[in-house]
Amino acid sequence: MTDTKIEQFPRSLPEALSSVARLVPGYRGYAGKDDRHEEDRRLRAQVVRCLRESSQDLHRAVRGARFEGTPPGLVRVGDVARRLDRLAVDVAHATTGEATLLTGGGVDGARLELLYRADIAVAEGVQGLVAEVGAWVANPVLDGSALSGVETALDLAETAWRARHALLDPE
């Protein structure tokens, strides 16, 4: 199978169905019980890679910046990087409850659609986060307020991940 980039994730289940042969992750992996774990693993691996790269980008930008003393935004950059790292760990180790939905023959179409939409939200949230980190890294201002776009995008990505996790582990 080929590897689809997170930014190429289909926007809806009907779109995915129309081009199912070229999609990974795609509906084929969600509908086929033998492929569910593999598709889920691939999506999570891409999300983790994006989060870790974004965290590393923040660290590199700070290391390359010239400043005297401790700029007010430096602590915020560290906080954001730690949140990125924590989210990456959560995504990488998310297994609780997923077996309930992603294995067995008892998964109905409505529940698969919810999972698929949750994965789209996660992919879009991480895509937006990567874009915000990239914009900040291009101009790493350490005045304390310049990270608000990154923090907002991270909030959205974390919320999307928590919603997906709640769908798979509703307890």
Q: What is the pLDDT of residues 77-111, one digit of tens each?
A: 889 999 999 999 998 887 644 455 555 555 556 77
Which of the pair, 64 or 153, is modelled with greater confidence? 153
What is the Cα–Cα distance from 152 to 30, expressed in whole angstroms?
A: 30
Nearest C-alpha neighbor of 142 from the set 84, 80, 53: 80
Q: How confident is the model at residue 116 (pLDDT cuts 50, 70, 90)?
A: confident
pLDDT in tens, 15-71: 444 433 333 344 445 555 556 677 777 888 899 999 999 999 998 888 877 666 667
Write down the pTM of the prediction.
0.74
The domain limits of the chain are 40-168
Chain-centroid distance, C-alpha 93: 13
pLDDT reported for residue 69: 65
What CATH class does 40-168 carry?
mainly alpha
**Mean pLDDT calculated for residue range 119-140:** 91
Q: Quickly list DSSP for 21-59.
A: GG-SSSHHHHHSTTTHHHHHHHHHHHHHHHHHHHHHHHH
What is the Cα–Cα distance from 66 to 64, expressed in whole angstroms?
A: 7
